[in-house]
Chain A
């Protein structure tokens, strides 16, 4: 014990020394070549505008530029996406047959927990933050976020958070008694309170850090959108993506602190013998109330910005402005407000008062109205439009298609009698996967393709993008439609096996449906591999974008602010050699410091 403490103390000392060294290395970190850009991937869409950053890896560790932080968020989120995807492919492989074939229940439960937490908190929220960080300041005419350093802190809390959330997977092979958490992403008590495993504590701490990160980011976006808008951007002409991010940030502001509080209570119950969620104390149901009071707004935190992305991108390839813009904004705000009034629809089968159930059912059904407003407005935007089926557009259309199925299955579940039958079956899993994979991931992919030219200065490979779309679309619908049918057959969620008696339940059909959804899941997986190849190869070798309007948006009068900014960057890069005094950065010369210079085209 003493030896361990000593080793840890030494380790901590080394860390502190390393930090001191890191800070000391910054002695002349503002020395750079006036033309900058050397540290970036060539043609990365910036017009020599990196003169204000150090070169190499240090730039990424020290950046407070919203664009760099957006890229960091994106890379982080996509690493998490592949972790979560690998976990689920293992799970689907296990479920291809009824018994324990390739893993034991404990490992399956660990994968299940990790998949849920990872995809929601480590992929979903950060991939949205990637787009919002990069593009919100460009769309509202701000030079950066209101609090750039807090923006960077919010990002840098995420990697340690992920390491803690996944910690059990790294420590389990070491045999030190810390295993991955097996609580499922909802962490229901009493299971989560009584599961004696330090891996659960580490996961809760990591989750707490990601919550702190999301809250910091949300405060930053609210402040940015309120105070940093350009002179020509007012509430009337604020773009739809910024509206959804503003609404999402408000939801985060009210929801995430609650998650943090509930997590701390759970940690105290686990480690310090408090009784917040004990039967003789606050009761295990209290956890469900607290968790879902966060958890349902979280659903809309995750889906509103993707809806904003689709509302932004869809008109670009329809050749028409977004139909009923004002009502799309209203529906966003309405969903935001209503999202806090539906949490108990996750708890219809817990024995709560039927009158309370009925009221929650009413509000849950009411959310269908603003959702339908959005759906019909997207369809109406495309109606009679000049559709161009580019990869971003395909993903937007797929998004709407999946939303119809995902949304309407949700309407079914909002009805108490239906939910009592289908609760905790694969029907529920199918419903929310149509939304999280079929919508959130699809909108994210569409936006990645749409903005790829701005971020990288290059164009992706269109054919691979189409292959990616169709594999994703077909795979998603095969996998999750099979889930809906499995739910109707009564297949329960979160089970590693389904070895029930074929005489009392349709075992043959259930097995077949599981195999179908496993095939679908692997189709999705192959699609994402195609996408990863496309992204990486195109980033390095893709054809450079010559024109600042790669989508020919000017023809339809759809040339948005972010592409106007891109055009300005390209002009600056291609333009004159005038050197003008810049922003107080320094160039170290033999004669000491002088004002930095940058190339811009006046």
Chain B
């Protein structure tokens, strides 16, 4: 991974991520397939779409069916891959801030889910957890996924050197 230049990390844009990222999916100007035999498409490859789809699927099944391991893992996968694909497309300079922000959004959603069932106080929440209230537990799985995403993004971002030579500049 770290051998890839920042240009490579933008599979389509071909622009240096140090430049103002252009949210465009192809090189500009792009030669079009013309009858005269020239066709230079973008470098047509990205690992993220499959992962985004997988994350959405697993998180949907996990949260809805109340399968908490799938809910947490799926949401983390989804949030991380959305940040990754957004970065790759050149919409963000660094994926970590977006991953963290999405994590915070998940925490908020999870807290809201809990709040729809019980007042946000320690006693009632503990009671609901003891009674295995399905919606409260689902809310906590969403909160957990959000925390993992946020903390993970902060940690990884802090670890990076930010030299701009990595696939994911920190």
- Residues of A at the B interface (CB closer than 8 Å) are 5, 8-9, 11-13, 15-16, 19, 22-24, 26-30, 49, 52-54, 59, 61-65, 68, 138, 141-144, 146-150, 152-153, 155-157, 160-161, 164, 198, 201-202, 205, 208-209, 212, 230, 267, 271-272, 564-565, 567-569, 571-572, 575, 582-586, 593, 596, 598, 600-602
Enumerate chain B residues within 8 angstroms of A15, measured Cβ to Cβ.
54, 58, 73, 77
Contact in complex: B44, A52 (CB < 8 Å): yes
Known: A205-B61, A584-B14. 6 other contacts (CB 8 A): A23-B84, A49-B39, A149-B48, A152-B50, A272-B135, A602-B38
**Least Cβ–Cβ distance between A21 and chain B, in angstroms:** 11
Distance, CA A149 to CA B14, complexed state (A): 15
Q: A160-B53, A209-B57 are contacts. A62–B45 as well, Cβ < 8 Å?
A: yes
Number of residue pairs A-B, CB distance < 8 angstroms: 193
Distance, CA A131 to CA B113, complexed state (A): 42
Distance, CA A15 to CA B72, complexed state (A): 12
Q: A27-B1, A144-B26 are contacts. A16–B76 as well, Cβ < 8 Å?
A: yes
Among listed B4-12, B101-109, B118-126, B155-163, interface-contacting one: B4-12
Q: A15-B58, A54-B45 are contacts. A8–B67 as well, Cβ < 8 Å?
A: yes
Q: A198-B65, A583-B40 are contacts. A143–B33 as well, Cβ < 8 Å?
A: yes
Q: Is B130's CB within 8 Å of the partner chain A?
A: no
Q: A160-B54, A209-B56 are contacts. A144–B42 as well, Cβ < 8 Å?
A: yes
Q: A149-B89, A583-B41, A585-B43 are contacts. A16–B73 as well, Cβ < 8 Å?
A: yes
Distance, CA A584 to CA B68, complexed state (A): 43
Distance, CA A54 to CA B44, complexed state (A): 9
Chain B interface residue count, CB cutoff 8 Å, equals 60
Enumerate chain B residues within 8 angstroms of A148, measured Cβ to Cβ.
12, 25-26, 42, 44, 46
B3-53 interface (Cβ within 8 A of A): 3-5, 7-8, 11-12, 14, 25-27, 30-53
Q: A149-B49, A153-B53, A205-B64 are contacts. A575–B37 as well, Cβ < 8 Å?
A: yes
**Least Cβ–Cβ distance between A237 and chain B, in angstroms:** 16
Q: A583-B14, A602-B38 are contacts. A152–B72 as well, Cβ < 8 Å?
A: no
Enumerate chain A residues within 8 angstroms of B53, measured Cβ to Cβ.
153, 156-157, 160
Distance, CA A272 to CA B135, complexed state (A): 8
Contact in complex: A565, B33 (CB < 8 Å): yes
- Residues of B at the A interface (CB closer than 8 Å) are 1-5, 7-8, 11-12, 14, 25-27, 30-54, 56-58, 60-61, 64-65, 67-70, 72-74, 76-77, 84-85, 88-89, 134-135
Contact in complex: B65, A143 (CB < 8 Å): no
Enumerate chain B residues within 8 angstroms of A138, measured Cβ to Cβ.
33
Q: Kindly report which residue of chain A lies nearest to residue B71, judged by CB atoms.
A: A12
Distance, CA A580 to CA B135, complexed state (A): 59
Q: A8-B70, A65-B41, A146-B25 are contacts. A564–B46 as well, Cβ < 8 Å?
A: no
Contact in complex: A153, B52 (CB < 8 Å): yes
Q: Can you list 6 A-B pairs with a CB-CB distance of less than 8 A?
A: A19-B51, A63-B44, A143-B32, A205-B61, A205-B64, A583-B41
Distance, CA A29 to CA B70, complexed state (A): 29
The residue from A11, A143, A152, A201 contacting B41, defined by CB atoms under 8 A apart: A143
Distance, CA A153 to CA B72, complexed state (A): 21
Distance, CA A584 to CA B2, complexed state (A): 18
Q: A147-B25, A148-B44, A202-B61 are contacts. A600–B76 as well, Cβ < 8 Å?
A: no
Q: Kindly report which residue of chain B lies nearest to residue A213, judged by CB atoms.
A: B53
Enumerate chain A residues within 8 angstroms of B58, measured Cβ to Cβ.
12, 15
Enumerate chain A residues within 8 angstroms of B1, measured Cβ to Cβ.
23-24, 26-27
Enumerate chain B residues within 8 angstroms of A150, measured Cβ to Cβ.
49
**Least Cβ–Cβ distance between A137 and chain B, in angstroms:** 8
Enumerate chain A residues within 8 angstroms of B70, measured Cβ to Cβ.
8, 12
Enumerate chain B residues within 8 angstroms of A156, measured Cβ to Cβ.
49-50, 52-54
Contact in complex: A29, B45 (CB < 8 Å): yes
Enumerate chain B residues within 8 angstroms of A161, measured Cβ to Cβ.
57
Q: Kindly report which residue of chain A lies nearest to residue B31, judged by CB atoms.
A: A143
Distance, CA A65 to CA B60, complexed state (A): 27
Distance, CA A59 to CA B50, complexed state (A): 12
Enumerate chain B residues within 8 angstroms of A201, measured Cβ to Cβ.
64-65
Contact in complex: B8, A30 (CB < 8 Å): yes
**Least Cβ–Cβ distance between A197 and chain B, in angstroms:** 13
Distance, CA A141 to CA B36, complexed state (A): 13
Distance, CA A148 to CA B45, complexed state (A): 9
Distance, CA A596 to CA B50, complexed state (A): 26
Distance, CA A281 to CA B2, complexed state (A): 57
The residue from A12, A29, A59, A143 contacting B42, defined by CB atoms under 8 A apart: A143
Enumerate chain A residues within 8 angstroms of B85, measured Cβ to Cβ.
149, 153
